[in-house]
């Protein structure tokens, strides 16, 4: 009787080993796919929104009343949406009187304003009076 049960036990062990190998292989494949997707995602989504100060041209100064959307996109922390909002605000109010007025735009708080201040200005000739 024992001889009959041993082949079943060996077969069961082989099946278990095979199952463990399949699970490990599947886990490795999933991990590999995640790494590849993450790598391509980082490459695809790293756009202007993540511009660091090191990537900016040395003498970049943008006049808020003359800037184009492309110029605003060069600023650190300013992506397409925020650049569009800045232009819309400028059109709605008739222009900027000061750099601090940027805080009237949704998404610009004290910290972002401080990081932008060395790159933006409102020139004397463009200051509008209300």
Domains of the chain, by residue range, sit at: 1-46, 52-126
| The pLDDT of residue 93 | 92
- Residue pLDDT, tens place only, 5-21: 566 777 788 889 999 99
Report the topology of domain 52-126.
Answer: DNA polymerase; domain 1 (1.10.150)
| The pLDDT of residue 7 | 62
- Residue pLDDT, tens place only, 121-130: 998 665 555 4
| The pLDDT of residue 23 | 95
Q: Select from 79, 82, 119, 76 the least CA-distant residue to 99.
A: 119
- Residue pLDDT, tens place only, 49-74: 444 444 555 567 899 999 999 999 88
Q: Is the pLDDT of residue 39 over 60?
A: yes
The answer to whether the beta carbons of residues 74 and 81 sit under 8 Å apart is: no
Across residues 19-44, what is the average pLDDT?
A: 87
| The pLDDT of residue 24 | 94
| The pLDDT of residue 127 | 55
């Amino acid at each position: 009787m024992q001889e009959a049960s041993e082949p079943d036990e060996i077969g069961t062990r082989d099946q278990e080993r095979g199952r463990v190998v399949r699970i490990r292989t599947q886990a490795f494949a999933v991990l590999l796919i995640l790494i590849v997707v993450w790598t391509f995602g980082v490459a695809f989504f790293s756009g202007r929104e993540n511009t660091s100060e090191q990537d900016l041209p040395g003498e970049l100064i943008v006049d808020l009343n003359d800037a184009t959307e492309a110029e605003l996109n060069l600023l650190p922390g300013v992506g397409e949406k925020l650049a569009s909002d800045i232009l819309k605000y400028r059109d709605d109010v008739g222009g900027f009187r000061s750099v601090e007025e940027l805080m009237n735009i949704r998404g610009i708080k004290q910290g972002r304003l401080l990081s932008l201040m060395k790159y933006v200005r409102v020139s004397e000739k463009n200051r509008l009076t209300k």
